[in-house]
A and B are shown apart, each in its own frame.
Chain A
C-alpha cells in the first residue's frame, strides 16, 4: 500500500496536478471575494454607462462572499476536479501501464484504495487552500466572517464531492476507461441538479442538496435533522459506491 501511495503521489506531483488544484483553488477564492465585493458597483457603473440610471443596491455582505465561493466551487472547482479524478482512476488502464503494475505483487483492492485516498487528498488540499485564501481575504473585506462555521460547511460540501468521485470510481471499475464514466457522472450531476429545488421526499436528502446545506449551515438556517440525514446518506452512498467499485474492478478483465 505504501508503494502504491508513493506511486500515486508521484504522479500528482510530476504531472503538476497538485499545482493545478492549488492554482485553481486560489484563483477561485480570490474571484469569489472580488466578485462579492465589487459586483454591485460594477453593475451600477455598467447600467449608468448604458443610461439606465442608478438604483439603490445594498452593500455587499459576507453572505455574498460565501455564496460566490460555493457557486464557484460547485461550478468550476468540482467539475475540474472530477475530470482530474476520472483521468487519474483510468490512466493506468487506458495507457496500458496496468501490465507493468499487475505483473507485480499488487492487490487490485489496495490499488483502488490508494487511488481513492490520493485523489481525495488532492481534492481536500485544493479545497483547503482555496478556503484558507478565501477566509484570509474575506476577514479583511467583510465583517462577521465565521471561521469555524465556514470550515464546517466545507466538510458538508466535500461530502457532495466525495459522492461524485466515488460514483466516477465505480464507473471506471465497470468500464475501465474515462470517457463513459465522465459522461455518466456529469449527466447524473445535471439530472440531480435539475431536481434539487424539489424540497420533499427522496430529493430532500440527495447529495446534490449538500452545497445548499453548506450555505444554510453558515447562515445557521438549517434543520439539523435534515442536514445530518443528508450527510449520512451522502457518506453511506459513497461507501457503497466505493465497495462496489472495488468489487467490479477486481472482477474486471483488463484485456478481452
Chain B
C-alpha cells in the first residue's frame, strides 16, 4: 500500500532521513520504531507532503506522491503525536468540519459523526474541546482520523503522552481498527509495538536498520537467548562461563543469567559446568524482547 524508496531529508547539516526504503502491505499494522529524533516524524511529514523531500520516492496505493498532491489524502487518516484542535468547537462540530474537508460523498455525515463519537466514547460530551482532558483529546484525534473511513491510518506516537490505562485502551483500539484498515504505527515504546504490530521497521539516526515481520525477526537465531539457573551463585557460574570463548554474550537481568550461545553447543556448556561441580537447575530458551533486539541492532544499550 505504501512504498518508500531511497527517501532522503536533511535540515541543513542534520540528516533526518538517510535514504530509507520501506514497504507497508495492505491490512497490516506496520510498526515504525525508533528513538526520539530517529526520523520517524520526518518520514510521516514527507508521506503527508507537509515538507519537501530531498530525494527518493513515495508511492501510495500505486501512485507516486508529487508535491502539492492532495487527493490521496482522502484515503489517509492521521493521528499526530501532539494533537491540537480548534478550542472553540465542540467535538461534534469539529468532526463535522473534519468530515467536510474529506470530500467523501458516499457517507452520511451525521450518521458517520455519531458512529465515530460513539466508537471513541465521546458521544455525550457537548462541551468545547478546550475543556477536554488529554485522554479525551487523544480519542478525539483518533475520531477525526477515522471520520472519512480511511484505508490507511498513520499514528504518530499515539500512546506516548498517555497514562498506563490510556495506553492499554489505545492498544485495544488499534487492534480493533487493524481489522478494517492498514495502520502505520510510529512509536518509541517497543513494548506497545510488540503487542500490536504485524511487521516492524527499526529506524535509527535516519537509517532503517531492519524491516520484517515480527515472526521473521524473532525466529532469527540472533534473536533468541537462554536463561540459566544453577545451584551456585551467579558470580561462581559466571566465572565458569567466562572461560568459554565461543559464548557470544553473558549478562545478568533480574537475578537471572542470560546467555547468547553463539557457536557454543548447549552440551559443551553443561559439560563445563558439570566439571566445575555446578548443577544446572533450569535452562530455558527465550525470545529476546523487541527492546533487546532494538538495543542490539542500534548498538546503543544505554538509551533504549
Contact = CB atoms under 8 A, between A and B. Distances in A.
B98 A104 contact: yes
Contact of A99 (B70, B84, B86, B88): B84
A95 B84 contact: yes
A253 B51 CA distance: 6
Given A10-B93, A14-B89, A100 B80 contact: yes
A32 B267 CA distance: 101
Nearest to B147: A104
B68 A105 contact: no
B212 to A, nearest CB: 28
A7 B98 CA distance: 9
Range for the number of chain B residues in contact with chain A: 20 to 34
A9 B98 CA distance: 15
Given A6-B100, A105-B74, A105-B101, A255 B84 contact: no
Contacts of A254: 50-51
Contact of A10 (B50, B82, B84, B97): B97
B70 A105 contact: yes
> What size tier do the contact residues of chain A reach?
20 to 34
Interface of B: 11, 45, 48-52, 68, 70-74, 76, 78, 80, 82-86, 88-89, 93, 97-98, 100-103, 144
A104 B101 contact: yes
B82 A96 contact: yes
B84 A102 contact: no
- By secondary structure, the B interface counts as loop
Given A10-B89, A97-B86, A104-B73, A255 B45 contact: yes
6 closest A-B pairs by beta carbon, nearest first, are A3-B100, A103-B78, A96-B84, A105-B70, A104-B101, A14-B88
Given A3-B100, A10-B93, A103 B48 contact: yes
A100 B84 contact: yes
B52 A100 contact: no
A97 B82 CA distance: 10
A197 to B, nearest CB: 43
A196 interface: no
A254 B97 CA distance: 22
Interface in A210-256: 250, 253-256
B10 to A, nearest CB: 11
Contacts of B45: 255
B153 to A, nearest CB: 11
A15 B70 contact: no
A15 B130 CA distance: 13
A102 B50 contact: yes
Contacts of B93: 10
Contacts of A102: 48-50
B160 to A, nearest CB: 16
Contacts of A108: 68
A101 interface: yes
A3 B78 CA distance: 19
Given A99-B84, A100-B83, A100-B84, A250 B97 contact: no
Interface string A94-127: 0111011111111110000000000000000000
12 contacts: A2-B100, A14-B88, A96-B82, A97-B86, A99-B83, A100-B144, A103-B48, A103-B80, A106-B70, A253-B51, A254-B50, A256-B11
B290 to A, nearest CB: 28
A255 B88 CA distance: 24
Contact of B52 (A103, A105, A107, A253): A253
A172 to B, nearest CB: 18
A11 interface: yes
Contacts of B68: 107-108, 250
A18 B86 CA distance: 17
Nearest to A110: B70
Contacts of B70: 104-107
A99 B50 contact: yes
A100 B48 contact: no
A110 to B, nearest CB: 9
Nearest to A98: B50
Contacts of B80: 99-100, 103
Given A250-B68, A254-B50, A255-B51, A101 B88 contact: no
Contacts of B89: 10, 14
Nearest to A3: B100
A253 B42 CA distance: 12
B276 to A, nearest CB: 60
B100 A103 contact: no
Contacts of A107: 68, 70
A250 B51 CA distance: 11
Of B11, B50, B51, most buried by chain A (CB within 10 Å of CB) is B50
Contact of B84 (A3, A4, A14, A97): A97
